[in-house]
């Protein structure tokens, strides 16, 4: 299991648990507003930075009786081939498990949930279908096909096999109230849905991509990189030359770190208006991080 980092204590990441958070490297998306370019863009993550799995489990052993849960996040954890074994080992030690996912690998999600390896799933629902490519960097020409994988994960979670939440990071310049209303109709009846306020950061994924990551860069690259299964194309090591993850230095993108053009922190009023309108369809919708 490839691990990129560990936050030793969190009271926020795993509802109701005193937890640690472990980060996995690699992601199949390129959300321009993502705060973790070092987890998402392979050239920014060196193998020497990885946390040995045994170091993590030694830590966990020492925290027995103090921590109650482990939040597994990324990057995108479902890209790790040995995720089920890793989660099973955490559970065998008596800890609860929370999984964060972008929902692009529904089969893995189902396998993990059906095997009883997680107690809680937090799934990102990035935007309305028509803006998924813009918001996540997936190829525009495959957006419909890939949206269906997201839908499959949404519908699976809404069958309530496990406790779950949906969450949408609301980014000024990417989300409008109409977009959120479209999502609200789709998520009608969801147990929990959080609208999270985007906060600009010093480094975001878009800083390392041409046009701030808003121009379909991944799609252009993939069209030259050959095709595989729906998600194989997006795996952290996709492409024989690793081109998918190769970032350009910020100087070549024409933007300075933290300054993806057109993206901004939405106001509290904007979030509240979205929440109010969405609550007609999803009464449980709440705002977070404001
Ligand atoms: S899904 Fe998007 S926000 Fe999440 S780690 Fe990947 S690029 Fe970042």
**Distance (Å) from CA 60 to ligand 1 centroid:** 26
Higher pLDDT, 224 or 41: 41
> Which domains, ranges and CATH numbers included, belong to the chain?
5-163+201-252 (3.20.20)
> CB of 30 closer than 6 A to ligand 1?
yes
Q: Give the model confidence (pLDDT) of 227-239 as tens digits.
A: 333 333 443 333 3
> CB of 171 closer than 6 A to ligand 1?
no
Q: Round the average pLDDT of the chain to a whole number and report it.
A: 86
> CB of 75 closer than 6 A to ligand 1?
yes
Q: Give the model confidence (pLDDT) of 35-75 as tens digits.
A: 999 999 888 888 888 999 999 999 999 999 999 999 999 99
Structural element, H or E, at residue 197 = strand 193-197
Which atom of ligand 1 has the smallest separation from the CA of 75? 5
Spatial CA neighbour of 192 closest among 162, 218, 221, 219 = 162
Q: Give the model confidence (pLDDT) of 183-193 as tens digits.
A: 999 999 999 99
Which residues fall within 8 angstroms of residue 28, CB to CB, at 6 or more apart? 76, 79, 102, 104, 105, 231, 234, 235, 236
- Ligand 1 pocket: which of 13, 122, 136, 196 to mutate (most atoms <8 Å of CB)? 136
> CB of 34 closer than 6 A to ligand 1?
yes
The distance of Cα 228 from the centroid of its chain, to the nearest Å, equals 22
Contact status, residue 139 vs residue 216, Cβ threshold 8 Å: yes
The distance of Cα 130 from the centroid of its chain, to the nearest Å, equals 19
> CB of 70 closer than 6 A to ligand 1?
no
**Distance (Å) from CA 8 to ligand 1 centroid:** 21
Contact status, residue 95 vs residue 68, Cβ threshold 8 Å: yes
| Residue identifier of the C-alpha nearest atom 3 of ligand 1 | 34
Q: Give the model confidence (pLDDT) of 104-113 as tens digits.
A: 999 999 999 9
Q: What is the DSSP string of 202-266?
A: S--GGGGSGGGGTS-HHHHHHHHH---STTGGGSTT-STT-GGG-PPPHHHHT--TT--TT-BPP
Which residues fall within 8 angstroms of residue 19, CB to CB, at 6 or more apart? 9, 10, 11, 13, 67, 68, 69, 70, 71, 96, 98
> CB of 74 closer than 6 A to ligand 1?
yes
Strands 120-124, 96-101: pairing kind: parallel
Which atom of ligand 1 has the smallest separation from the CA of 205? 7
Strands 19-23, 5-10: pairing kind: antiparallel
Q: Give the model confidence (pLDDT) of 135-159 as tens digits.
A: 998 888 888 888 999 999 999 999 9
**Distance (Å) from CA 124 to ligand 1 centroid:** 9
pLDDT of residue 235: 37
pLDDT of residue 209: 85
Which atom of ligand 1 has the smallest separation from the CA of 36? 8
- A 10 A CB-CB count for 163 gives 16
> CB of 102 closer than 6 A to ligand 1?
yes
> CB of 231 closer than 6 A to ligand 1?
no
- Ligand 1 pocket: which of 73, 76, 109, 132 to mutate (most atoms <8 Å of CB)? 76
Distances in Å between the alpha carbon of 8 and those of 22, 57, 69, 73, 94?
A: 8, 12, 11, 13, 17
pLDDT of residue 259: 52
Contact status, residue 4 vs residue 21, Cβ threshold 8 Å: no
H-helix segments, 1-128: 37-40, 53-62, 83-92, 106-114
> CB of 40 closer than 6 A to ligand 1?
yes
Q: What span, in angstroms and rounded, lies between the C-alpha atoms of 193 and 286?
A: 6
Q: What span, in angstroms and rounded, lies between the C-alpha atoms of 198 and 261?
A: 14
């Amino acid at each position: 299991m490839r691990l990129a980092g560990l936050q030793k204590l969190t009271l926020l990441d795993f509802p109701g648990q005193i937890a640690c958070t472990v980060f996995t490297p690699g992601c199949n998306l390129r959300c321009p507003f993502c705060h973790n370019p070092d987890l998402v863009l392979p050239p920014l993550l060196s193998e020497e930075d990885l946390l040995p799995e045994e170091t993590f489990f030694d830590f966990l052993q020492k925290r027995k009786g103090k921590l109650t849960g482990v939040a597994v996040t990324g990057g995108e954890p479902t890209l790790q081939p040995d995720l089920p074994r890793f989660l099973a080992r955490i559970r065998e030690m008596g800890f609860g498990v929370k999984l964060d996912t972008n929902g692009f690998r529904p089969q893995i999600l189902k396998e993990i949930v059906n095997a009883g390896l997680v107690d809680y799933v937090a799934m990102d629902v990035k935007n309305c279908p028509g803006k998924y490519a813009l918001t996540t960097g997936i190829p525009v020409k495959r957006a419909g096909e890939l949206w269906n994988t997201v839908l499959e994960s949404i519908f699976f979670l809404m069958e309530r096999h496990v406790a779950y939440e949906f969450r949408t990071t609301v980014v000024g310049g990417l989300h409008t109230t109409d977009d959120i209303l479209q999502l609200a109709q789709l998520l009608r009846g969801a147990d929990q849905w959080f609208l999270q306020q985007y906060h600009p950061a010093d480094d975001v994924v878009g800083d390392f991509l041409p046009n701030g990551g808003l121009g379909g860069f991944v799609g252009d690259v993939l069209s030259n990189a050959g095709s595989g299964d729906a998600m194989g194309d997006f795996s952290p090591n996709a492409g024989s030359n690793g081109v998918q993850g190769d970032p350009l230095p910020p100087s070549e993108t024409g933007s300075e770190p933290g300054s993806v053009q057109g993206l901004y922190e939405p106001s509290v009023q904007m979030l509240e208006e979205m929440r109010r309108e969405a609550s007609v369809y999803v009464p449980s919708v709440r705002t977070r991080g404001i």
